[in-house]
Structure 1
Amino acid sequence: MKAYVYGADGPLITDIAKPAPEGTQLLVRVRACGLNRADLGMTKGHVHGARGGVGTVLGMEWAGEVAELGPDARGVKVGARIMGSGAAAFAEYTLADHGRLFHVPSNMNFDEAATLPVALATMHNAVVTNGALQAGQSVLVQGASSGVGLMAMQIAKYKGAKLVIGSSTDPTRRGRLKAFGADLAIDSSNPGWVEPVLAATNGEGVDLIVDQVSGKVANQNLAATRIKGRIVNVGRLGGTHADFNFDLHAARRIHYIGVTFRTRTIDEIREIFDEVKKDIWPAVEQRKLQLPIDRVFAFDDIGLAFAHMEANRHLGKIVVTL
């Protein structure tokens, strides 16, 4: 089967053996894949958790059909249309755990479905489970123009946030954030961005920051969060190391929470997928939670898809079809 593999000279499409499902796994005939920032890093040889390096089949998000079941797989049938996340997605076939997937709604095609698993699981966990957002509260999403950022704002609105603020350093993308739930859009590269956040919250700061930037905005985040507010560290596009004002953190009594899928057990990941199904799945089926597709590429042009991502001018998801 065809797969996109990181080789000794970089990523390339090559032929590899089709995998066989074991235990609770199932074999998926992949029809579409969503690109993510972590994938871009791995195309350059970076390690993401336990994955990466020569021989790695790239990709982590897919939609397709169940081709075969492992002996302990439950809750899904051969032929079912599903979407999910997991290793080695950029291939004609991939393996999935039976608890790390969603059934594709009947009103959704594979391209659309491939945009959703990572964003839904990541941001429901960040906004609702760890962020503890309650109806009537305020939230700031740093890095809001990414696929997961757009989903974070939509989930916040769906859960009753009274004020949703999104950040983007690109003026064109910033101008489009209101279509995805933002009441206010800010430029986090502007040194004075904390002021409009405070002005919009009567000087108190937001109840919750979902931070995909970190790095250089860490101390500004502290200043923009209300006393006893929460910051959930989801991503570190602005840097993994930076100055941190521990005194401000303590004075504002902020709960600072780090999240990642890299160190979670399969049982923890299954629980996250279950929470999405129990809490917000009706909104997915009703298309109240969805992501725009920026561009679709054929699998043979997957290198062009990553070049498009690296140019960093897209809004929403880049999809590759097989």
Structure 2
Amino acid sequence: MRAFVQSGTGVTLAEVPVPSPGPDDILTRVTAAGLNRADLGMAAGHAHGAAGGAGTVLGLEWAGVVEEVGANVTRFKPGDRVMASGLGGFAEKALSDHRRTFAYPDETMSEIEGATLSVALRTMHDALVLNGGLSKGESVLILGASSGVGIMGLQIAGLMGAGQVLGSSTNPTRRDRLAEFGAQGVIDTSASGWADQVLQATGGRGVDLVVDMLSGPGTNETLRATAIGGRIVNVGRLAGTRAEFDFDLHALRRIQYIGVTFRTRTADEVGVITEAVERDLWPALREGKLRLPIDRVLPFTDTPKALEEMAANQHFGKIVVKME
């Protein structure tokens, strides 16, 4: 089968064997795959969990049709349309653990939409609800809100009862669009002392919960923007993995600083999150209350171009590659 693999310094189209499902796996015929920031690191040769390196089939999120299931899989059967995540989605066929696989919430949903949802739904429900402990009426700031995951975070925060939802972007055009997806205020994190914008929006108090996909040098501003007794959930490191940390400010504001990743979670742990997502978010998906803008759709053979366009960071929402 055709697949895009890591070639040492980039990606290349290659012929690789069709993977064989293990007892907990689902083999799908891929119909479309969504791009994520982590794909860029994988394409550059940075490992994703235990996997990575030359020859690795890339792609962390896809939609497809089930062709074969393992002996332990009872929820899915051949012919089912599914939304999946794992590793290997930039290929004609891909494997996912059944605990990392969603049935479509609505059979009218397109394959393009299905290819964009798995990572965003699971990441943001985990950050806001399971780890962030969001309570009704609390204020939320999504740092990096113009990404697909961030846009979903704005909507989930509102759906789960947040009293005030703020979102950040360094791009003014993208900031202008955040209100379409539930942001009640926007923050420009490229500005010096940007936490002042958050304090002004919250009457000097700061936000109860920050979902931080940036980290890096702005971390102390994030601490300053967080209310006394608030929480920061560290989801991503788009702005850097190292920075100075004001431990005194952290202590003075009595902030809970929570790190999350899916790279060190077991399949059973991911399965718990999958069940929570379906319980809390499937009704809203069926009613059209949660959606992601599709910035562009490219043919599967243009996957390297799609990765280049993601790296250029000029898109809003999701980039998708579709099987011809």
Q: TM-score range by the shorter chain?
A: over 0.9
SS in 2 for 1:164: strand
- Is the 1:74–1:98 contact (alpha carbons within 8 Å) kept by the matching residues of 2? no
Residue matched to 2:224: 223
Q: 5 Å matches for 1:131-142?
A: 131-142=132-143
Show CA shifts across 1:67-124 (max 9, x none).
Answer: 0111111111110010011111111111111121111221211011101000000000
Instruction: State, as a whole percentage, how many aligned pairs show the same letter.
Output: 56
Alpha-carbon distance between aligned partners in 2 of 1:116 and 1:148, rounded to the nearest angstrom: 9
Residue matched to 1:11: 11
Residue matched to 2:58: 58
Structure 2: where are the runs of 5+ without partners? none
What is the aligned-residue RMSD (CA, Å)? 0.9
How far is the alpha carbon of 1:10 from its aligned partner? 3.0
Residue matched to 1:100: 100
How far is the alpha carbon of 1:307 from its aligned partner? 1.2
Residue matched to 1:28: 28
Residue matched to 1:290: 291
Residue 71 of structure 2 is aligned to residue 75 of structure 1: no
Alpha-carbon distance between aligned partners in 1 of 2:8 and 2:171, rounded to the nearest angstrom: 35
SS in 1 for 2:21: coil
Q: 5 Å matches for 1:102-121?
A: 102-104=102-104, 105-121=106-122
How far is the alpha carbon of 1:196 from its aligned partner? 2.0
How far is the alpha carbon of 1:304 from its aligned partner? 1.0
Q: 5 Å matches for 1:169-188?
A: 169-188=170-189
Residue matched to 2:252: 251
Supply the AA of the counterpart residue of 2:281.
I
- Is the 1:139–1:165 contact (alpha carbons within 8 Å) kept by the matching residues of 2? yes
- Is the 1:24–1:74 contact (alpha carbons within 8 Å) kept by the matching residues of 2? no
How far is the alpha carbon of 1:9 from its aligned partner? 5.7
Alpha-carbon distance between aligned partners in 1 of 2:10 and 2:154, rounded to the nearest angstrom: 35
How far is the alpha carbon of 1:51 from its aligned partner? 2.0
Alpha-carbon distance between aligned partners in 2 of 1:38 and 1:96, rounded to the nearest angstrom: 17
SS in 2 for 1:67: strand
Residue matched to 1:277: 278
Residue matched to 2:315: 314
Supply the AA of the counterpart residue of 1:255.
Q
Alpha-carbon distance between aligned partners in 2 of 1:10 and 1:308, rounded to the nearest angstrom: 14
Q: 5 Å matches for 1:232-251?
A: 232-251=233-252
Supply the AA of the counterpart residue of 1:126.
A
- Is the 1:29–1:66 contact (alpha carbons within 8 Å) kept by the matching residues of 2? yes
Alpha-carbon distance between aligned partners in 1 of 2:22 and 2:240, rounded to the nearest angstrom: 39
Q: TM-score, normalised by structure 2?
A: 0.98
Q: 5 Å matches for 1:296-307?
A: 296-307=297-308
SS in 1 for 2:116: coil
How far is the alpha carbon of 1:263 from its aligned partner? 0.5
Show CA shifts across 1:144-197 (max 9, x none).
Answer: 000000011000010111111100001111110100110001110101321121
Show CA shifts across 1:276-308 (max 9, x none).
Answer: 011111111222111010000101111111111
Identify the range of structure 1 (136-145 vs 190-199) with the bigger mean alpha-carbon deviation.
190-199
Alpha-carbon distance between aligned partners in 1 of 2:93 and 2:59, rounded to the nearest angstrom: 12
- Is the 2:3–2:92 contact (alpha carbons within 8 Å) kept by the matching residues of 1? yes
Task: Count the aligned residue pairs.
Answer: 322
Alpha-carbon distance between aligned partners in 1 of 2:289 and 2:297, rounded to the nearest angstrom: 22
Alpha-carbon distance between aligned partners in 2 of 1:24 and 1:275, rounded to the nearest angstrom: 20
Q: TM-score, normalised by structure 1?
A: 0.98
SS in 2 for 1:279: helix
Residue matched to 1:46: 46
CA, structure 1 residues 205+67, in 2 after alignment: closer, same or farther (shift >3 Å)?
same
SS in 2 for 1:175: helix
Structure 1: where are the runs of 5+ without partners? none
